[in-house]
Structure 1
Amino acid sequence: MPKDEQQYEFSEFSGEFVDDEGSVFLRIYRPAGTNLDWMLEVLDEEENTTVWDGTFDTDRDAFEEFLATVERDGIRTFSDQPVQKLH
């Protein structure tokens, strides 16, 4: 592995999220070994990616933003409009 390849720490909130409308894979991460803010990314069943522009102070904040988006727009929003930037 090249020395310049970034390693990431993944939050315990990362993983598959399933509801009645479908499923997505949630990734909440930051550069390993740092105290930098957390990034939020969602992959749909077709592996299309939705990434938030901003970062989050805590992994819980990122997870709550994800939940709020699902509550407001539904889980299908990630497969209907992939590769968007939110937040």
Structure 2
Amino acid sequence: MPKKPKNEHSELSGEFTDDDITVLVDIFRPAGTNNDWRLEVITQNEDVFEWEDGFATDREAFDEFLATVARDGIRSFLEDDDPPAVH
């Protein structure tokens, strides 16, 4: 069984709370590389929302998350009737 590569997580990763809703923002890339940063948002129900495109910096990834919350609201990650989205 091949080993899963280890990831380097950004210091910007962590819990984010808005409007009494908390999600986990995970910004990561393969450890020891200069690859693009990946962005995922994980809800309390363990739904995962991931962005298809990578980001040159972890700050760009976090800013995209903040822009999504400002534009669509944090509740956009909690849509009960829709499957997890890819941004």
State the TM-score, normalized to the length of structure 1. Answer: 0.91
Look up the match of 1:5: 4
**Among the aligned pairs, what percent are the same residue?**
51
Q: Distance in 2 between matches of 1:68 and 1:41?
A: 14
Counterpart of 1:35, as a letter, is: N
Q: Distance in 2 between matches of 1:5 and 1:33?
A: 14
Moved over 2 A (4+): none
Alignment of 1:65 with 2:57, yes or no, is: no
Alignment RMSD (CA, Å): 1.3
**Equivalent residue of 1:85, what SS?**
coil
Look up the match of 1:41: 40
Unpaired segments ≥5 residues, structure 1: none
Output one character per residue of 1:34-74: Cα deviation in whole Å (capped at 9) or x when no partner.
00000000001101000000000000000000000000000
Q: Which has the higher contact order (CA 8 A, sep 6+)?
A: 1
Change (3 A) 1:27 1:58: same
